[in-house]
Structure 1
Amino acid sequence: MMQSALLPGWLRMVWAAALVLVALAHLKHVITMRGQRRWWHTGHTVMAAGMALMYLLPAMDHPVLYQAGLAFYVAAVAALAATTVTNWREEGVLNPLWVATTIDMVAMAYMLLPARTPVLTAVFVVYLAGQAVAWSLGLWSRVPVLAPVPAGGEGAAGSPASSAVVGLTAHTSPVVLASLAVMAAGMAYMLLAM
């Protein structure tokens, strides 16, 4: 197993274990949810599983796996971009969660490239660190269009629910928020360590 100052073998195992738990948390939602939430959790399940594999199986030891992974994640980026645009057209609102998930998937594909540029790597690290903070603090639920609509039928700031309704709203579950923060941090850390 490849060693680096930022990524010794024991730390690879810790990150891999954490990301397997993230994948399992999202897989539970894939099984129990419907509609956009099911597909959104599917995307996070495959990202977490892919990250766990990257921590366990370094690229230099498994180049064919990384080539296949790159093709898979590029296809996933295309599917997410299409999903984002389709939902935008249907809902009349560009959902920032779908945009962010598409960018997250772009980061997954970027990590699988045989060569990366320092500037783009730094951009992704800063973005993913920001995502980790946003998920940790539950900031996505403060975005008006993403705020879960209360039972009374009004959206954020007293606006009618119909103006704030999108098919995918922000999660407020501590398990989901923690899992997304761990995944974003794991992605940022891997990019730093590569």
Structure 2
Amino acid sequence: MGAMSMPLLPSWLRLAWTAVLCGVLVLHLVHAWAMPGQRRWWHAGHTVMAAGMVVMYLLPHLTRQVPGAALFAVLTASSAGAAIVFRYREGVLNPLWVASAVDMLAMTYMLLPAAVRPAWLTGVFVTYLTVQVGMWALGLWDRTPAFHRSGGAEPAVLDVPPSNAAPTAVVGLRAHSTPTVRLSLAAMTASMAYMLVAM
């Protein structure tokens, strides 16, 4: 699919999205470097996702000519596996890992040839991603019941480097985060939804 067949992606807009996504990439890379455990892998996944989106906006005509779909299919399975493993370890299905798996699935879908992407399924993904934008932008993930169980210490947050004290968290990954992380995730999710509409 050539750039000329994507009228919703003029050069200036592609570059603007690319700049935003580079900022998202750097932010999550820093957090992946600084954080331990689940938070490290969760931020690392978003770093790879941001890198994938940068490539898609810089080279939209080459996107579906590279085996990126296979990479994100593996990441989809990994995120789903993490959701299952931590469900048994922590006693609750963490919606952040579930959402991460669906986000990776959306990336996989975007990287498939247009011929195998039906319009109705594209609409489903766009709707899901639009809801995700609102969830992150408004800080609604932190209100999810899974993050407010009784019987344990306050879980460690996504974007604050850990102290020397070892936490005894019920949930090892939760959505309590600073506005910069929330807005970065809202921006990246919006870029995914826009790319699906523009393709």
TM-score range (shorter-chain normalised) is 0.7 to 0.9
TM-score, with normalisation over the residues of structure 2? Answer: 0.86
Cross-structure match for 1:133: 134
How far apart, in 2, do the equivalents of 1:187 and 1:110 lie? Answer: 11
CA contact (8 A) 1:171 1:177 kept: no
Cross-structure match for 1:150: none
Cross-structure match for 1:17: 19
Which structure shows the bigger proportion of residues in helix conformation?
Answer: 1
1:96-127 CA-to-partner distances (Å, cap 9, x unmatched) read 00000000000000000002110010000000
CA contact (8 A) 2:17 2:57 kept: yes
Cross-structure match for 1:38: 40
CA contact (8 A) 1:135 1:180 kept: yes
Q: Considering only aligned residues, what root-mean-square deviation do their CA atoms show, in Å?
A: 1.7
Given residue 126 of structure 1, which amino acid in structure 2 is its aligned partner? T
| TM superposition shift of 1:61 | 3.6
TM-score, with normalisation over the residues of structure 1? Answer: 0.88
Structure 2 counterparts to residues 75-94 of structure 1, below 5 A: 75-94=74-93
Query: Cα gap change, 1:99/1:63 in structure 2, threshold over 3 Å: closer, same or farther?
Result: closer
| TM superposition shift of 1:83 | 1.0
How far apart, in 1, do the equivalents of 2:130 and 2:90 lie? Answer: 29
1:2-24 CA-to-partner distances (Å, cap 9, x unmatched) read 13221111101111111111011
Report percent identity of matched pairs: 53
1:30-83 CA-to-partner distances (Å, cap 9, x unmatched) read 10000000000011000011001000011x345542xx2111111111111111
How far apart, in 2, do the equivalents of 1:128 and 1:166 lie? Answer: 24
Query: Cα gap change, 1:107/1:63 in structure 2, threshold over 3 Å: closer, same or farther?
Result: closer
Gaps of 5+ in 2: 156-169
Structure 2 counterparts to residues 115-154 of structure 1, below 5 A: 115=114, 116-147=117-148
Secondary structure (helix, strand or coil) at the match of 1:161 reads coil
Deviation >3 Å, runs of 4+: 60-64
Gaps of 5+ in 1: 148-154
Given residue 102 of structure 1, which amino acid in structure 2 is its aligned partner? A
| TM superposition shift of 1:193 | 0.3
How far apart, in 2, do the equivalents of 1:6 and 1:107 lie? Answer: 19
Cross-structure match for 1:99: 98
